[in-house]
Amino acid sequence: MTSSSSTGTTYSPTPRTTGTRARDRFSYDRELVHAILDEGYLCHLAFVRDGAPVVLPTLYARVGERLYVHGSTGSRPLRDAGRAEPGMPVCVTVTHVDGLVLAKAAFHHSINYRSVVAHGLAHQVTDHEERLAALDAIVEGVVPGRADDSRRANPKELAATAVVRLDLDEVSAKVRTGGPNDEPEDLELPYWSGVLPVSLVYGTPIPAEEPAADTPVPGYLTAR
Amino acid sequence: MTSSSSTGTTYSPTPRTTGTRARDRFSYDRELVHAILDEGYLCHLAFVRDGAPVVLPTLYARVGERLYVHGSTGSRPLRDAGRAEPGMPVCVTVTHVDGLVLAKAAFHHSINYRSVVAHGLAHQVTDHEERLAALDAIVEGVVPGRADDSRRANPKELAATAVVRLDLDEVSAKVRTGGPNDEPEDLELPYWSGVLPVSLVYGTPIPAEEPAADTPVPGYLTAR
């Protein structure tokens, strides 16, 4: 991706200066980071195993200035996060693709996207209430309205679930929008240039084959 | 994501045994890995910097048993990949989300997805012809038909572009399909269960504001 029209922003939840401009920027950046995170539910979580990087897709949710991911207590990275002191170094990246940018020149082809990259030390969450809230947030992140419309985890399920937290201390957003950035000398070339918009769409809900299959499709699915 | 109905497969491009079954499985797995990779163009590339993981979104393409990514020669990971011997440890992950799986129980909520995870040592590509082929493949991966319908990179642009290769030696695919896997005792609960399909869609091409704006929209965009 070329970055000529992208903007990168970084914030710390604690403003680093007391100047008005820094406060404004902090506020703006935080809202941007939150908006990008809240639109998604699938992140790519990276960690280091035996000196080599590993990156896996997983569900996440944001609650305030914290990101949560969950998984089986039997999964190695989550187990390691529980043991590591002062925490397991991770990187969590969330990316939304908004368009394919076609320029006159191959070199200037790009993607319109919004991404957030968060670095830090992941910790296992052991507080019962925080675990419950995080699991609800992950379900709500995938399907808003669903946490209250499903059976919540029982003690056995909770015991099998690891919840890991990453505080949003070191986080940045990067956004590319707009059309291609072609060289002036390329503008007359006879190649179409512009943007092909990309979006995620949700189809018609497919009910499971089960005894209660006559359960009406909830509004939070059809409205999506 | 629960993994109860997911399947994971791993292959080495060189079959490890000469048994018929191993050959068949190798063939099947390779096709699955290739199909998942070829459907996408955005990967998440992870590497280790100062002992901590970093994962960034970037474009990629597959050519045979090799993955290529590109970027500015000024970007640090790509520069490091050029210097590192015997190569820079990376992990490349490609994920397609196909559906949201809503179960009776929050615990059994999941995502239908197809992902490929490739590990190995990344190398800078220095061979001129291989670089050109990789750059064409990346453009074609984003918009099939576009490499021949745009201006290819000139020497100055080529000099500013780093191309990095990862051989598909250690690669695995993971796929989850189908409906929720609920517990028998949950089946009568009055919550809708099933799958909400998810797909990427491409909208109406938006032409750039430029002198040749009357260039017709190419068929490879409208057919998408």
Q: A135 vs B106: CB contact, 8 Å cut-off?
A: yes
Using a CB-CB cut-off of 8 Å, the residues of chain B touching A142 are 100, 109, 111
Shortest Cα distance, chain B CAs vs residue A145, angstroms: 12
Q: B197 vs A206: CB contact, 8 Å cut-off?
A: yes
**Tokens at B200, concatenated:** 């990427």
**pLDDT (tens digit, 9 = 90+) per residue, B52-70?**
999 999 999 999 999 999 9
A63 contact partners, CB below 8 Å, separation of at least 6 = A133, A134, A137
Per-residue model confidence (pLDDT) at position B209: 81
Report the residue of chain A nearest B171, measured CA to CA: A54
Residue B175 contacts A where some CB pair is shorter than 8 Å: no
Report the residue of chain A nearest B72, measured CA to CA: A2
Q: What would the mean pLDDT of B129-137 be, rounded to a whole number?
A: 98
Using a CB-CB cut-off of 8 Å, the residues of chain B touching A134 are none
The type of residue at A49 is R
Using a CB-CB cut-off of 8 Å, the residues of chain A touching B109 are 139, 142-143, 146, 150
Indicate whether A149 pLDDT > 60: yes
Q: A139 vs B109: CB contact, 8 Å cut-off?
A: yes
The type of residue at B75 is S
* End-to-end Cα distance, chain B: 30
Shortest Cα distance, chain A CAs vs residue B70, angstroms: 8
Residue environment code for B20-58, b if the CB has 16+ CB neighbours within 10 A, otherwise e: eeeeebbeebbebbbebbeebbbbbbbbbeeebbbbbbb
Indicate whether A79 pLDDT > 90: no
List residues bridging with A171 in a β-sheet: A11, A118
Strands A110-124 and A52-63, sheet pairing: unpaired
Say which residue, A209 or A142, is predicted with more confidence: A142
Confidence at A223, pLDDT banded by 50, 70, 90:
confident
The type of residue at A169 is D
A 62-121 residues with CB < 8 A to B: 72, 89-93, 95, 97, 99-100, 102-107, 109, 111, 113, 115, 117, 119
List residues bridging with B71 in a β-sheet: B162
* Separation of alpha carbons A27 and B3, rounded Å: 39
Using a CB-CB cut-off of 8 Å, the residues of chain A touching B53 are 46-48, 53-55, 89-91
Using a CB-CB cut-off of 8 Å, the residues of chain A touching B3 are 72
Q: Where are the domains of chain B?
A: 6-222
Indicate whether B125 pLDDT > 90: yes
Per-residue model confidence (pLDDT) at position B214: 74
Distances in Å between the alpha carbon of A164 and those of A42, A171, B13, B30? 15, 17, 35, 34
Q: Which of A10-24, A93-107, B5-19 has the highest mean pLDDT?
A: A93-107
Per-residue model confidence (pLDDT) at position A14: 42
Domain A6-222 has CATH 2.30.110.10: yes
Per-residue model confidence (pLDDT) at position B216: 86
Confidence at A9, pLDDT banded by 50, 70, 90:
low
Of B168, B156, B160, B162, nearest to B80 by C-alpha is B162
Indicate whether B199 pLDDT > 90: yes
Angle formed at CA A23 by CA A18 and CA A28, multiple of 5 degrees: 165
**Tokens at A45, concatenated:** 């979580």
Distances in Å between the alpha carbon of A86 and those of A82, A151, A210, A213, B5? 10, 35, 46, 48, 35
Confidence at B23, pLDDT banded by 50, 70, 90:
very low
Say which residue, A1 or B202, is predicted with more confidence: B202
Q: B117 vs A56: CB contact, 8 Å cut-off?
A: yes
Using a CB-CB cut-off of 8 Å, the residues of chain A touching B54 are 46, 53, 91, 117, 119
Q: What would the mean pLDDT of A177-200 be, rounded to a whole number?
A: 95
List residues bridging with B166 in a β-sheet: B67, B122
Q: A151 vs B191: CB contact, 8 Å cut-off?
A: yes
Per-residue model confidence (pLDDT) at position B19: 42
Q: B100 vs A202: CB contact, 8 Å cut-off?
A: yes
Residues A192 and B218: beta-carbon distance below 8 Å = yes
Indicate whether A1 pLDDT > 60: no
Residues A45 and A58: beta-carbon distance below 8 Å = yes
Report the residue of chain A nearest B197, measured CA to CA: A203
**Tokens at B204, concatenated:** 């109406």
**pLDDT (tens digit, 9 = 90+) per residue, A95-143?**
999 999 999 999 999 999 999 999 999 999 999 999 999 999 999 999 9
Instruction: Please tell me whether residue A89 adopts helix, strand or coil conformation.
Output: strand
Q: What would the mean pLDDT of A21-47 be, rounded to a whole number?
A: 83
Residues B79 and B72: beta-carbon distance below 8 Å = no
Lowest mean pLDDT among A81-85, B122-126, B148-152, B214-218: A81-85
The type of residue at B67 is L
A 25-54 residues with CB < 8 A to B: 42, 44-48, 51-54
> What is the length of chain B?
224
Using a CB-CB cut-off of 8 Å, the residues of chain A touching B140 are none
**Tokens at B159, concatenated:** 């000099």
* DSSP type of residue A147: G
Residue A202 contacts B where some CB pair is shorter than 8 Å: yes
Residue A151 contacts B where some CB pair is shorter than 8 Å: yes
Q: B193 vs A215: CB contact, 8 Å cut-off?
A: yes
Helices and strands, number each (H, E), in chain A? 5, 10
* Separation of alpha carbons B82 and B71, rounded Å: 12
Q: What would the mean pLDDT of B15-24 be, rounded to a whole number?
A: 43
Long-range contacts formed by A9-16: CB under 8 A, 24+ apart: A9/A33, A9/A172, A9/A173, A9/A174, A10/A170, A10/A171, A10/A172, A10/A173, A11/A171, A11/A172, A12/A169, A12/A170, A13/A65, A13/A168, A13/A169
Per-residue model confidence (pLDDT) at position A82: 63
Using a CB-CB cut-off of 8 Å, the residues of chain A touching B77 are none
Using a CB-CB cut-off of 8 Å, the residues of chain B touching A202 are 100, 196-198
Per-residue model confidence (pLDDT) at position B14: 42
